[in-house]
Structure 1
Amino acid sequence: MTSDNTAAMEVEATPEQTLAETRRILLEGIRAQRVDISRSIRFVQRGIAAAETHYIYRALRTLSSLRKRLEPSVLADAIAANAASDSAPATRDCLNGMLALLGQQPAPAPRAGACEPEVCLFLGLLVLLHFLDSGRHEHGVELSETLAGVAAGSQRRTVDPVTSRIYFYYARFFEVAGRLSDVRTALLGALQAATLAGMKETKAMLLTLLLRNYLHYKLYDQAERLTAKSGFPEDAPNNLLARYLYYLGYIEAIQLNYSQAQMHLLEATRKAPSNTATAGFQQAAHKVYVIVELLMGNIPERSLFRIRTLRKSLLPYLELTRAVRVGDLTRFQDVVNRYESKFLSDNVLCLIQRLRHNVIKAGIRSINVAYSRISLRDICLKLHLDSEEDAEYIVAKAIRDGVIDATIDHEKGFIQSAEAHNVYETSDPQLAFDKRISFCLGLYNDSVKAMRFPDSSHRKELAYAIEATRRERELAQELENEDYDDESDDDGMDEDL
């Protein structure tokens, strides 16, 4: 009975009411978006006035929430509200260009005072995000070039965080448009200017963008020369440092420096946060890391392949690891042929092709452990080699490289394994302990460098306060002395009377 009454009391909304409700929700969202953009711009202006970048960073942290609900009309109104006739020509032309690309007629909102470059670049970031999400890539290329020109004309400390993001989307739009090579000269010029101006975050961003540019076209020698001649800023943000270490590790792996590549890739995975937002970077870094581990003769831990964000993407690499671990050359080739397109898209096929020798070495190592004496014919059959001569050459090279400890009897055609030694009698534990100590010391040094300390401006204020106190004391002393002199004069006059 009650449910029937409740159903009877419910009234279906008419189409006009539904449209009015939708319009009301849209207007409320637009009104809230205008308030959020205005608040972010006020943070930028406060950072300019105080010459402090943490206000700028606070405004930039709102980009992710603003990006989800950007409206062209709201952007046009915000640009018009911050436009002024007495702004710099480059800034004024940039704001007018944004309005033209948006194709909106903003509400008239005259503004007194010039528009600062930081505010112009922040508004440009919002418009670039709108163009990127809406697929208007040609408009984004045009606007990003204009914004890069505005960023290059200002070298203040507060413009550094915004400029770094401007160059990121500048390169991103050219990459999406398939014109990544056209932006390389501009990025090199901007890197030189940022280095001379001491803009550390912009320099770090430009270094990562140039490395990505070189690796996209497989220009590994140019990328290696760039990293050798350009030092990465020590106090750069962790996200840029993680990307730089990933690119550096990939370059080192291509250049056959596997130990350095392993160190850089491991540090890159530790620097990047482990969450769903960075899952793509973690997957890309761990793919190269697994291959470098296999090239060094190590087997990655099984727990690495069980991480929830990495389990699906590392499945081909898990099968590859299994093939390398057992030293089965046929199984290894089958995995490579099955996932060849996947390895090509990950840009690791050239590294995987180098693993064939490691598969053979792993097979020889397992045979050396399992058999104290085995014929070359049996080794040839187990490793699926073409002839006994090839097996003898491969085993001889493995002995010379220190992979196994054995001797070859050429006349009788067999391999004699040496007696197993206690690993604690060697220097391997010492090397492993030294590696862990070096990592802990590096982590401690990075933590100390990452701590924020107050700048030296408070010392000037302290010195001024101490000087003012000293002057007040001297003035009070002088006043006391004058009062004492006046009292002495009065006493003398009384005695004369």
Structure 2
Amino acid sequence: MSSKEAASKEAEAPMEVEASPEQKQAETRRILLEDITRSIGFLQRGITAAETHYIYRALRTLSSLRKRLQPEVLAEAVAARSAAENAPATRDCLATMVALLKQKPAGSPKAGACEPEVCLFLGLLSMLYLLDSGSREAGAELADVLLGVASASQRRTVDPIASRIYFYYARFFELAGRLADARPALLGALQAATLTGMKETKTMVLTLLLRNYLHYNLYDQAERLTAKTGFPAEAPSNLLARYLYYLGFIEAVQLNYSQAQAHLLEATRKAPSNAATAGFQQAAHKIYVIVELLMGNIPERSLFRAPTLRKPLAPYLELARAVRIGDLTKFQDVVDRHEAKFLADNVLVLVQRLRHNVIKAGIRSINVAYSRISLRDICLKLHLDSEEDAEYIVAKAIRDGVIDATIDHEKGFVQSAEVHNVYGTSDPQYAFDKRTGFCLGLYNDSVKAMRYPGGNHRKELAYAIEAIKRERELAHELENEEYDDESDEDAMDEDL
């Protein structure tokens, strides 16, 4: 092919015209509206079949829709569901959405009926848009209207969407600095969800109430709430991790360190380890480190070397080093330098309790290093105010079993007892019992988390059993036929 022919063909080929910005924007809106309509289709299938997995399939599209939300498209989707036969609460909710999105109410001649699930889903999209755009007061107003629609319906398919509505409802009030104003509505929602059996809403509201109480340091109210309400066993892992984190924090403040350690450790294991949950892992491990120190244990060094925990846990590593060596001066220096950090993490009260642990660690190291030491030297090494304070602290350490020693009050010294073999004590038994209990608990949780198929497999099993019976009967008939044929042949031979 010559160059002239190629040039003529290129001239004859149609040139692609680049779309204008208006056309690109219109295409983006059309795709967004189609995606919202597709998600609503999943909701309608779930409503018709009364199955929640279609509802979850629609909710999984929230993250992708949230990045592309536009008020005009949301208003158009709302107008497509603003039929006259809708319930009054639904009509008011849809009208409020359009008003808060600052769009003109546009009627649609082919508007269809709007189920509560569809109304809540559209309201959830509108709340996400208002949250990302910074319209907190408008979002809180819309959340109040959506709560009325959610509380009016008790269908099982409403439960997954309603739980997310309550989450963003509390989030708007928290960002506005009025978290206490959301507490009455959350308490009423917890009561209603418990009575109607909406388990996911109950788990979400329960965690939100604990967060509400802890925000205002109302630890007694939070403890009474957890004591009088049961957390559903089939709750999602993310909500279970948050609940265990709050529970561990409450137990730590109330001096129940062993239970707090178990709850915080389980919370860190239940939560997924990825970039999205790095903040939760950091917050949980901060309290876990302090609880370990309060229990007299030193956390593993590998914990502080994790990539997502290295920088946030740097002050806590210095704290652990001061507690390990029992240096009261170094401990106080760490607390003074990072006081603002501990106060922001809301753990300053727990950190201040470590002073007694630092003194106990110092006494333990002195007891190991010296077989006999005067109270005056102990006072100088631990930087205490007087020998009377040193004598009182040593006496309490002996009574608590921290050290094995005796105090000579007349001569003013402490005599350490002979060091015994640790395997001659009951410490290995306690450690083995602790590990065995953890393994048994993990096994029981794994058994509870197993999912078994429904009853549909029984039909297939019955069909397979019938097929086996038919095959056996057919084989038996074939054997009889062969036997009859052989007998007939023998009879014919005899006749011949």
Measured against the shorter chain, the TM-score band is: 0.7 to 0.9
User: Partner of 2:394 in structure 1?
Assistant: 395
Q: CA deviation at 1:189?
A: 0.9
Rounded to whole Å, the distance in 2 between the matches of 1:382 and 1:320 is: 19
> Secondary structure of the residue that 1:374 maps to in structure 2?
strand
- Cα drift, residue 111 of structure 1: 4.1
C-alpha displacement at 1:181, in angstroms?
0.9
2:254 corresponding residue in structure 1: 255
Q: Secondary structure at the match of 2:398?
A: helix
Q: CA deviation at 1:413?
A: 1.8
Alpha-carbon separation, structure 2, partners of 1:134 and 1:128: 10
Q: Judging changes above 3 Å, is the alpha-carbon distance between structure 1 residues 79 and 451 closer, same or farther for their aligned structure 2 residues? A: farther
Partner in structure 1 of residue 270 of structure 2? 271
User: How far off its partner does 1:64 sit?
Assistant: 1.2
Q: What SS is found at the alignment partner of 1:103? A: coil
Distance 1:237 1:27 in 2: 39
Tell me the SS of whatever aligns to 1:236: coil
Q: Distance in 1 between matches of 2:28 and 2:365?
A: 66
The 3-state SS of whatever aligns with 1:351 is helix
Separation in structure 2 between the aligned mates of residue 358 and residue 159 of structure 1, nearest angstrom: 51
Matched residue, 1:109: 108
Query: Among the aligned pairs, what percent are the same residue?
Result: 78
Distance between the aligned counterparts of 1:78 and 1:290, measured in 2? 50
Q: How many residues align?
A: 447
The CA deviation at 1:284 is 0.7
CA contact (8 A) 1:83 1:111 kept: no
Q: CA deviation at 1:293?
A: 0.6
Specify the alignment match of 1:56 in structure 2.
Answer: 55
Listed as ranges, the matches of 1:181-220 within 5 Å are 181-220=180-219
- Cα distance in structure 1, aligned partners of 2:334 and 2:25: 53
2:154, 2:443 → 1: CA distance?
33
Distance in 2, Cα, partners of 1:403 & 1:455: 56
Contact kept in structure 2, 1:95 and 1:120, CA below 8 Å: yes
- Equivalent position of 1:494 in the other structure: none
Match of 1:411, SS state, is: coil
Q: Take 2:436 and 2:86, find their aligned partners in 1: how far apart are those partners?
A: 56
Separation of aligned partners in 2, 1:113 and 1:132: 28
Q: 1:78 to 1:288 in 2, by over 3 A?
A: same
Mapped to 2, the partners of 1:236 and 1:112 lie a distance apart of 37
What is the match of residue 319 of structure 1?
318
Shift of 1:80: 1.3
How far off is 1:34 after superposition?
A: 1.7
Q: What is the CA-CA distance between 1:377 and the residue it aligns to?
A: 1.4
Partner Cα distance (1:48, 1:57) in 2: 12
Residue 113 of structure 1: CA displacement? 4.7
Q: Using the alignment, how far apart are the partners of 1:114 and 1:424 within structure 2?
A: 75
Q: CA contact under 8 A between 1:53 and 1:158: conserved in structure 2?
A: yes
Q: Distance in 1 between matches of 2:425 and 2:88?
A: 71
Residues 433 and 26 (structure 1), Cα distance of their counterparts in 2 relative to 1, 3 Å cut: farther
8 Å CA contact retained: 1:77, 1:106: no
Which letter does structure 2 place at the counterpart of 1:385?
L
Q: Distance in 2 between matches of 1:59 and 1:444?
A: 34
Which sections of structure 2, spanning at least 5 residues, go unmatched?
A: 1-16, 467-496
One-letter amino acid of the structure 2 residue matched with residue 151 of structure 1:
A
Q: Which residue of 1 aligns with 2:419?
A: 420
Which ranges of structure 1 fall in alignment gaps of 5 or more residues?
Answer: 1-16, 470-497
* Mapping 1:444-463, distance limit 5 Å: 444-455=443-454, 458=456
Alpha-carbon contact 1:121-1:147 (below 8 Å) kept? yes
1:150 aligned partner: 149
2:237: which partner in 1? 238
Instruction: Classify the secondary structure of the residue corresponding to 2:37.
Output: helix
Q: Helix, strand or coil: the match of 1:407?
A: strand
| SS of residue matched to 2:366 | helix
Q: Distance in 2 between matches of 1:89 and 1:451?
A: 44
TM-superposed deviation, 1:140: 0.3
Confirm or deny: 8 A CA contact 1:160 1:201 kept in the other structure: yes
Deviates more, 1:101-110 or 1:235-244: 101-110
Shift of 1:108: 4.7
Amino acid at match of 2:331: F
Amino acid at match of 1:40: S
Question: CA RMSD of the aligned region, Å?
Answer: 2.0
- TM-score (norm. length: structure 1): 0.86
For residues 109 and 275 of structure 2, the distance between their equivalents in structure 1, rounded to whole angstroms, comes to: 44
Taking the aligned partners of 1:379 and 1:451, their CA distance within structure 2 comes to 57
Q: 1:428 to 1:21 in 2, by over 3 A?
A: farther
CA drift at 1:430: 2.2
Q: 1:215 to 1:106 in 2, by over 3 A?
A: same
Provide the residue aligned with 2:406 in structure 1: 407
SS in 1 for 2:414: strand
C-alpha displacement of 1:185: 1.1
Distance 1:443 1:95, change over 3 A: same
The Cα shift of 1:462 comes to 5.1
Q: Which amino acid aligns with 1:156?
A: R
